[in-house]
Structure 1
Amino acid sequence: MTPSKTSDRTAVAGQWPAGVLAAKPGKVGVLLVNLGTPDGTDYWPMRRYLAEFLSDRRVIEWPRAVWYPILYGIVLSTRPKKSGALYDKIWNRAQNESPLRTFTRAQGEKLARTLEANGVHVEWAMRYGNPSIESVLSGMLAKGCERIVMFPLYPQYSATTTATVNDKFFEALSKLRAMPTARIVPPYYDEPVYIDALARSIETHLAGLDFEPEVVLASYHGIPQSYVQRGDPYPAQCEETTRLLREHLGWDDKKLIVTYQSRFGPEEWLQPYTDKTVEKLAREGVKSIAAFNPGFVVDCLETLEEIAGEAAEIFHQAGGTNFTHIPCLNDSPEGMAVIEALVRRELSGWA
């Protein structure tokens, strides 16, 4: 009787069929994923981007019968022009793209050079807009990646960010007959390498100023209070990041405070609101403040326009004198050290 293929597979090493012995393990890949960006600042690129973003059930949890008439009847008629004007203020004209895409690409390219010696293939993608998760994943599989570490670039977990990236990644995998093996980099809001990088970035920036901020704001992107009531752990992780930063910097809760920005719609969002806090501090006589965004891996519309631009203007108009925005970690040595450390940990045993 001829041995079956199944019995061949139970043979000890040295007795495997020649074809099996010759098989080479597939490549290992790393996929960095950020939130997303429009392809341009004009009406139609902005509308496409906003339609995809605001149609996500993880982002807007209202019933579709209630939300879609508002989205397609009002929001997508007016918001693309307004948002496009804001993006135009911070647009990277040299490369005709948003800073978020510029910095995310730079992170991917630098990580690729770092991991090249380990034989690891690195790519980057966006949850909304281009390059899409599905298109980049398809390219990675075509290049032979059979094991993939996917990195949602959000330090603090929220269903509106980390979870929707995971959803889209596994949705792309669900369409495949032969899936790669996947690992997901977990939230890293309390990782020492992340806290240390933030602290050093803050200290370096403040050392270059000709004034000392009386108050420093850790401004995180907000989410509706209702999402937290339904179990989203996001604010607790933001608070823990800030607590660890206070401990690392030797500051108290009056020097370093938590605020939340970017609210949208009629619901009550996480408080205190950044814009209201900035105005309140100035009216109370605080003359010098600094703000940074520990929930954003790279600078983008919400950090460059909303904080460095709008919040600074609010502070000055309310009587404040000195306002400084501390850049995100971006592709700085400190920022890349965080990404590399977390990726290498997840690559353990693979590369």
Structure 2
Amino acid sequence: MENSDKKGVLLVNLGTPDAPTAPAVKKFLGQFLHDKRVVDMSRLLWCPILHGVILPIRSPKVAKSYQTIWMEEGSPLMVHSKNQAAKLQNRLGYPVELGMTYGSPSVESGISKLLSQGVEQIVILPLYPQYSNTTTAAALDAVSKVVKRLSTIPSYRFIRDYCSHPSYIKALAASVRKSWDEQGKGDYLLCSYHGIPKRFADNGDIYPKQCELTTHLLAQELGLTSEQIGFAYQSRFGREEWLKPYTDKVLEELSGKGIQTLDVIAPAFSVDCLETLEEISEQYQELFVESGGKQFRYIPCLNDDDEHIEMMRQLVL
């Protein structure tokens, strides 16, 4: 591939286990939950809990969940991410590589591949629409660790967030309209975002403000009122308070208010993964129906949809 401008792109996502097995999940979770951006407890307190309790108990359970969503080509997150990179490279005409903050392929391998192709200017795009210290900042940490070991540092730009980018909002709206066309329009559209501890937001993390902004702009784009769309936070872990409202509680409340058909979208996830395919599509669907709801329709992530790739192209350019 000719790259006279010596440009390249690094797409960064959280990562995924290499296999749907307890050892692979344990390895991945160990790396993920060791990051102080994710868990900021004292290592003296946290490490014994992590290695002595959490990893031995959770790894087999999480592995079984992964087995229910695993694709023939591998983890959904990895399959969709590879498709994104290939399509974006085709559209841009210069190298695009993947780097995962945890697991493989690593951020280091992604940067190394770009440099080996003569790239001197890298655009780093973490695939988190809404900024959070727990995700976006962790991705920048991983990049910084690699860069500081290089003898010649490439020029690079880091895209912090795109929660309000017009192309992102239009791509989300297009996916909702597609679902409506195929399955009918539900009584309510719930935007379910990955949660973070409330304490992080109290200390300045702008994530909840950006989640609310995305929801507001999506409502405008779709012409929905506050009675037709809302947001909540999922995937909480541990005993401390996380961002509210909690998705599971909102589902119970909606069914109690007479919402019979519910559409659910996950705007914080750029690709479908365990949290969307198993937690939302399976667990939350069951909860909604048990609470009295009739129909629960999960709207897939943007994945490698053409509108999503075009958004990435615009961001990079």
* 1:104 alignment partner in structure 2: 81
Return the index of the structure with the highest Cα Rg: 1
SS in 1 for 2:55: helix
Deviations 1:33-70 (A, max 9, x none): 11100001111111100000000000001111221111
Q: Distance between the aligned counterparts of 2:131 and 2:87, measured in 1?
A: 25
Q: Does 1:63 align with 2:42?
A: yes
Q: Pick one of 201, 213, 217 that aligns with 1:228.
A: 201
What RMSD over aligned residues (CA atoms) do the two structures have, in Å? Answer: 1.3
Q: Is the 8 A contact 2:97 2:113 kept in 1?
A: no
| Number of aligned residue pairs | 315
Name the SS of the counterpart of 1:113 in structure 2: helix
User: TM-score with structure 1 length normalisation?
Assistant: 0.88
- 1:275-300 per-residue CA deviation (whole Å, 9 max, x = no partner) reads 11112222333211110001111111
Residue 40 of structure 1 aligns to a residue whose secondary structure is: coil
Q: 1:12-52: per-residue Cα shift (whole Å, max 9, x none)?
A: xxxxxxxxxxxx97721111111100001111111100000
The answer to whether residue 131 in structure 2 is matched with residue 145 in structure 1 is no
Contact 2:190 2:231 in 1 (8 A): yes
- Tell me the CA shift for residue 251 of structure 1: 0.8
* 1:283 counterpart (242, 250, 256): 256
Q: How does 1:173-212 map to 2 (within 5 A)?
A: 173-210=147-184, 212=185
Q: Which residue number corresponds to residue 14 of structure 1? A: none
Distance in 2, Cα, partners of 1:182 & 1:317: 50
Aligned to 1:213: 186
Q: Which runs of 5+ in 1 are unaligned?
A: 1-23, 345-351
TM-score by length of 2: 0.97
Structure 2 equivalent of residue 171 of structure 1: 145
Matched, 1:89 2:68: yes
| Corresponding letter in the other structure for 1:343 | V
2:40 match: secondary structure: coil
1:102 to partner: Cα distance: 0.4
The residue number in structure 2 matching 1:242 is 215
1:28 aligns with 2:7: yes
Aligned to 1:266: 239
Which stretches in structure 2 are left out of the alignment for 5+ residues?
A: none
For 2:220 and 2:256, the matched residues in 1 are separated by 29
Counterpart check, 1:321 vs 2:294: yes
Residue pair 1:201, 1:334 contacting (<8 A) in 2 also:
no
Q: Equivalent residue of 2:35, what SS?
A: coil
Q: Say which of 45, 50, 65 aligns to 2:24.
A: 45
C-alpha separation in 1, matches of 2:121 and 2:187 = 49
Q: Which residue of 305, 314, 317 corresponds with 1:341?
A: 314
